[in-house]
Structure 1
Amino acid sequence: MLDVRRLRLLRDLARLGTIAAVAQAHTYTPSAVSQQLSALEREAGVALLERTGRRVGFTAAGRVLVAHAETVLAALEETTAALAAIATGPTGPLRIGAFPTAVRTLLPATLVALGDRYPGLELTVTELDPVAVPAALHERRLDVGLLHDYDVAPVEPDPALDAVPLLDETVFLAVADAPGTDPSGVGGVPVAGEDPLDGVRDLPWIVASPGTLCHTVTLHVCRAAGFAPRVRHQADDFATVLALVAAGQGVSLVPQLAAVDPPAGVRLLPLRTRRRTRVAYRRGAAAHPAVAAFVTAIRAATGDVLAR
């Protein structure tokens, strides 16, 4: 009989690439991970890993077992969900991961609704960049999490996770509505032609930190319009971005959820680009009462926010 905990370590080795990374994810020592994988090989009765110096690869049998491990772990999630459904209602811990804009706009009403209807739920929110959510779900630090991507920069789905659509947003070009004190004259941007980007190609930009999805999307959108943005400021919080735009410090791209209540002096010009947000959870967990309750509650909260 194969040990499920060891199967999870093998799956995570395929996902993370090194024993050291697996050890860090599970708060084990690398030696402990190696011992557990060796024990899994004895259980399987066949070599699963090929070791060349410090590098570890998978044998053909190892690759087969990794593929089946995903099925086994998903089946366990389904079993857990089925057992939880027998209870009187959603109870116990529900660990939620979400990006800052969603924490500020969508989660307050979601948490209130869940707390009122299901007092047995123990709700915990962690603010996370969407790129960190899949790993947190894999490592069972989260039960549900919000992911997003853009139509111009799609993200490949994770085979170990399931997700349902939550929100499809317009992305806006944020510009100053009136001249500010900045001598560059960013305020009162003229918008030429049908494409708002035509009027800002020579202006300074406020962009997210390099390596983030928002930074990648800004570069992609600008290059598709035929120019490279002249970066003046870097900021990851959209409230900060909009404040800088209002102060005449540059222009920026802002998704609809972040532009629900823009400061005075900011004009929002819709672009063709879309941001897509999904609720993600481990494969097999869709029927878990707590997960299903969260999906229902956050969809209702999202509808209310957009209606306002």
Structure 2
Amino acid sequence: MLDVRRLRLLCDLARLQTIAAVAAAHTYTPSAVSQQLSALEREAGVPLLERTGRRVALTAAGRLLVQHAEVVLAALERTGAALAAVRTGVSGELRIGAFPSAIRTLLTPALVTLGEQHAALDLMVTELDPAEVPAALLDRRLDVGLIQDYDVVPLDVDQGLDSVPLLDEAVHLAVGSPAPTTPRDSGTLRDFRDADWILATPGTLCHTATLQICRSSGFTPKARHRIDDFGTVLALVAAGQGVAVVPQLATGRTPEGVRLLPLPTRRRTRAAFRQGAAGHPAVAAFLSALPQTDPTTSPSRG
């Protein structure tokens, strides 16, 4: 009989690539993870890992087992959701991960609704960049989270996750007025190739998207400031400190003196959760409480 906890470790190794990373995700020691994976190999009766010095890789049998293990783990998630559904009312802890502008515009009204309708539900929100949410869900540090992608940075959702669409919004270049560029400003992105740019922290989705948007126009932006909060970004743009790429959701509190130039890309937001968890009462209640928002027609929301 294959141990489910060990199957989860094997799936995490396929995702995280190193035993050290798996150990950190589970607060185990690397030697403990290695021992559990060796025990799983004995249970399976075939080699699952190829070890070369300190490096490990999955064998063909290991990759096959991961595929089947993902199905097993999703079935267990559905089972847990079904058991939770037979309880009276929606209760327990729901851990939510989201980015700041969504916390202000989407989550706050949802939290109020959930609090009014399900007083026994214990809600905990953690601010996370969308790029960090999938790992937090798979590591079971979150129950639901908001993930994103841009046309220029498509998202390949892990097979252990499911998601539902939430928003599809326009993306703008925020510039000061007058714009910090050449007098002959035609409003195209290349006109701002020599401007100072306000970029997000490297490694975040917004930073990656801005780089890709600029590179598609033939230049790499010159960073003057690195700011992750869009409210602060727009204040700096208004103060003449640079230009920045901002999504529609962040423009509801645009200061005077900031112009928004449309860019030929869009950003999509989805609510994600572990595969099989959609039927969990708390997850279902959360998804139902999210407001139906169309940022393309409601620019006042921010």
Do residues 246 (structure 1) and 231 (structure 2) align? no
- Separation in structure 2 between the aligned mates of residue 74 and residue 158 of structure 1, nearest angstrom: 13
Do residues 255 (structure 1) and 247 (structure 2) align? yes
Correspondence list, 1:13-162, <5 A = 13-162=13-162
Given that 2:182 and 2:191 are in contact with CA atoms closer than 8 Å, whether structure 1 keeps it comes out as no
Correspondence list, 1:107-256, <5 A = 107-178=107-178, 186=180, 191-192=185-186, 196-256=188-248
Given that 1:218 and 1:253 are in contact with CA atoms closer than 8 Å, whether structure 2 keeps it comes out as yes
Q: CA deviation at 1:85?
A: 1.8
Specify which of 265, 271, 277 is matched with residue 279 of structure 1: 271
| Secondary structure of the structure 1 residue equivalent to 2:237 | helix
Given that 1:176 and 1:266 are in contact with CA atoms closer than 8 Å, whether structure 2 keeps it comes out as yes
Q: CA RMSD in A?
A: 2.1
Deviations 1:250-296 (A, max 9, x none): 11110011111112221212222101110000011111111111111
Given that 2:97 and 2:133 are in contact with CA atoms closer than 8 Å, whether structure 1 keeps it comes out as yes
Q: CA deviation at 1:131?
A: 1.2
- Separation in structure 2 between the aligned mates of residue 213 and residue 5 of structure 1, nearest angstrom: 31
| Alignment: residue pair count | 299
| Secondary structure of the structure 2 residue equivalent to 1:80 | helix
- Separation in structure 2 between the aligned mates of residue 187 and residue 54 of structure 1, nearest angstrom: 52
The normalised TM-score by structure 2 is: 0.92
Change (3 A) 1:76 1:126: same
- Separation in structure 2 between the aligned mates of residue 198 and residue 298 of structure 1, nearest angstrom: 38
Q: Please, which runs of 5 or more residues in structure 1 have no aligned partner?
A: 179-184
Given that 1:167 and 1:277 are in contact with CA atoms closer than 8 Å, whether structure 2 keeps it comes out as yes
Deviations 1:59-89 (A, max 9, x none): 2221211111100000011111112222233
Q: CA deviation at 1:132?
A: 1.1
Task: Report runs of 4+ in structure 1 exceeding 3 Å deviation.
Answer: 187-191, 302-308
- Separation in structure 1 between the aligned mates of residue 223 and residue 188 of structure 2, nearest angstrom: 18
Change (3 A) 1:13 1:281: same
Partner of 1:9: 9
Change (3 A) 1:174 1:36: same
Given that 2:129 and 2:205 are in contact with CA atoms closer than 8 Å, whether structure 1 keeps it comes out as no
Change (3 A) 1:226 1:50: closer
Deviations 1:204-230 (A, max 9, x none): 221122232222222222232233323
| Secondary structure of the structure 2 residue equivalent to 1:82 | helix
The normalised TM-score by structure 1 is: 0.90
| Secondary structure of the structure 2 residue equivalent to 1:106 | helix
Q: CA deviation at 1:196?
A: 3.5
User: Once the two structures are aligned, what percentage of the paired residues are identical?
Assistant: 68
- Separation in structure 1 between the aligned mates of residue 130 and residue 226 of structure 2, nearest angstrom: 19
